[in-house]
Structure 1
Amino acid sequence: MSQILLIMASVRPSRVADQLADWIHARNTLGLSIETVDLRDWPLPMDDEPHQPKQEGFDGYRSEHTRNWSRKVDSAAGFIFLLPQYNWGYPAALKNALDHLYSEWQGKPVVITSYGAGGGGKAADQIAQVCQGLHLEPVPTRPALPLKAAERTDAGRLVDPAAAFAAQAADMQAALGELAAALHSA
């Protein structure tokens, strides 16, 4: 079965990305093989490779962390980007993770799932442009999870993600279906 990486883009100490990743896994009624990848676990120093990411004819990453990240991304058939909207954009950690590589992303389908006070649509639009530059293939449906409607604990955690995002469940399942179709047509 094709491996899909669900990449959690938030590295902030106080975040709800893990809860949203669990919510996405629960919407996976198609039996897709989805592995959650937390960018906290992949510290990639900013632009530390001496050359641009590998393109035609270049395959010599110097840093072990870049080689490991390259192998991880290259092993995936597709992706789910789970990204918060920060000041109308997406997190720098995701941009850095994307920019560390090039050819490993090409031609692979991706679901863009955003979240924020209004659902994170501006961040989703921005990352869609970056996906175009990397030759990733975003599926048409982009689930947007509005956090303002979600009830929170005193610690900032979501009380019940399933209830908070019940209205978005069909979009998530549609996006996963589109991802599955893209994987099968490849």
Structure 2
Amino acid sequence: MKHIGVIIGSTRPNRVGPTITKWLLQSITPRHNISFEIIDLKAWNLPLLDEPEMPAKGIYANEKTKQWSEEIKSKDGFIFVTPQYNLGYPASLKNAVDYLFKEWNEKPAIIASYAYRGGGKAADQFRQVTSGLKLKTVETMPAINLSVEMFNEEGRIKDDVDGFDQYSEVINKAVTEMEEEFNKLEEKPVNPL
């Protein structure tokens, strides 16, 4: 069984990230070999990177960083659910990934973005970062277009929104690509040294 961390990238007070993440997980066709666990960056409340050593060294002074390292090490892959803010991804997401290095290496990842224009620019930028972390980011990056009609008077996504259904196919395509990445990793020859 592969354990996938689903990282909610927004920490804003009035964010819609948890709602979109919940919907995204409900849209994924059940698979016997994959389980999903939500990792909410707001709940983690990571301070701005405050470690004295470079993350690539894997030497952590702070207890919070050690806990974050264990959380990320325990996952086989990731789905990053990120909003697009001002044509980029949020600082909270950049900060969270910058805390670590080796813990991310060689793990399959999906970037799912959302915004009034789908969040493609944020996803493209974040893909560069995942490449630097040596994550195996799949080609398909679901970009969810939000619309004013999806929201109620309080600024929350309505419970009965059916506008997300159109994204189920692309999300499942990305998960299938993630499974293919797992297969490639399992077929990779082991270095005997």
Give TM-score scaled by structure 1 length: 0.93
| Structure 2 match to 1:157 | 156
Task: Find the counterpart in structure 2 of residue 52 from structure 1.
Answer: 54
CA distances 1:58-104 after superposition (whole Å, capped 9, x unpaired) = 33200000000000011110000000000000000000000000110
Distance 2:139 2:21 in 1: 20
Q: Is the 8 A contact 1:19 1:158 kept in 2?
A: yes
CA distance in 2, matches of 1:40, 1:128: 22
User: How far off its partner does 1:161 sit?
Assistant: 6.8
Give the secondary-structure state (helix, strand or coil) at the position aligned to 2:132. helix
Q: Distance in 1 between matches of 2:118 and 2:183?
A: 29
The residue that corresponds to 1:173 in the other structure is 172
Counterparts of residues 72-111 of structure 1 (less than 5 Å): 72-111=71-110
Instruction: State whether residues 150 and 164 of structure 1, in contact with CA within 8 Å, keep that contact through their aligned partners in structure 2.
Output: no
| Residues 168 and 150 of structure 1: CA distance in aligned 2, closer, same or farther (over 3 Å) | farther
Question: Mean Cα displacement is larger for which, 99-108 or 24-33?
Answer: 24-33
Checking the alignment, whether the CA contact within 8 Å between 2:58 and 2:102 is kept in structure 1 is no
1:1-186 to structure 2, matched below 5 A, reads: 1-31=1-31, 32-53=34-55, 55=56, 58-148=57-147, 150-160=149-159, 163-186=162-185
Is the CA contact 1:19–1:161 (under 8 Å) kept in the aligned structure 2?
no
* Structure 1, gaps ≥5 residues long: none
Equivalent-residue separation in structure 1 for 2:60 and 2:125 (angstroms): 27
Deviation readout 1:121-172 (Å, 9 max, x if unpaired): 0000000000111111111110000012652111111114761122211101
> CA distance change for structure 1 residues 101 and 30 in 2, over 3 Å: closer, same or farther?
same
Change beyond 3 A, Cα 1:150–1:132: farther
Count of residues in Structure 1 that have an aligned counterpart in Structure 2: 183
Answer whether contact 1:20 1:161 (CA < 8 A) is retained.
Answer: no
Cα distance in 2 for partners of 1:76, 1:113 equals 18
Residue of structure 1 equivalent to 2:190: none
1:19-39 Cα offsets, whole Å, 9 max, x none, are 111111112213220000100
Structure 2 segments unaligned to the other structure (5+ residues): 186-193
CA contact (8 A) 1:23 1:162 kept: no
Give 1:51's aligned amino acid. E
**Structure 1 pair 165/149, CA: closer, same or farther in 2 (3 Å)?**
farther
- The alignment's C-alpha RMSD in Å is 1.4
Instruction: Specify the SS of the correspondent of 2:147.
Output: helix
Q: Distance in 2 between matches of 1:82 and 1:176?
A: 13
Runs (4+) of structure 1 moved beyond 3 Å? none
Task: Read off the aligned partner of 2:69 and give its amino acid letter.
Answer: S
